[in-house]
Amino acid sequence: MKQFLLATALIAVPVAAFSGFQIYEARAAATAGSSAPSLGDLSSFATIITDVQDIAAKGDLAGAKTRIKDFEIAWDQAEAGLKPLDPTHWGLIDQTADGALTALRATTPDTTTVTAALAALQATLADQKAVSQ
């Protein structure tokens, strides 16, 4: 009987330890992957900004100013759903968007300033993980 208990212990202890470690490692990996907040899919906003960039690149700053209004409206409408998901990143995008709007709405918009502001907004939309960590 003692040999049976000893054999069981010699098998059960390593199996339990190995299984416990695997469960711990799986939970740690899952937690690490989801620790950074995210605003989710922002591709519709990025598409609008790409359109604005294309229009501005052609020298049509008035057209770019008109198209960015679509971004502003969509962003404001999505605020209630997006902001609670990651207030820090939402605020950064909002601030960067304000810079792009200001550049395009200037009395005499400067192409270089507009281009830089739109590039910054596009980068901020795309870079959720770096901002959130």
Per-position pLDDT tens, the chain of length 133: 777 666 665 665 565 554 545 555 555 554 444 455 688 899 999 999 999 999 999 999 999 999 999 999 999 999 999 999 999 999 999 999 999 999 999 999 999 999 999 999 999 998 865 444 4
Tokens in use for 51?
């359109």
* pLDDT in the model for residue 43: 92
Domain boundaries, the chain: 1-35, 43-132
* pLDDT in the model for residue 117: 96
The answer for 69, left when phi > 0, alpha when psi is -120 to 50, beta otherwise, is alpha
Query: What is the phi/psi pair of residue 110, to 5°?
Result: -100, 125
* pLDDT in the model for residue 76: 95
* pLDDT in the model for residue 132: 42
* pLDDT in the model for residue 89: 92
**What's the burial of 114, exposed, middle or buried (CB within 10 Å: 0-12/13-18/19+)?**
buried
SS3 52: helix
**110 contacts 41 by C-beta, under 8 angstroms:** no
Q: Which amino acid, one-letter code, is at 98?
A: D
Give just the sign of the alpha carbon dihedral 10, 12, 13, 19.
positive
Q: How many CA atoms lie within 13 A of 52 on its CB side?
A: 30
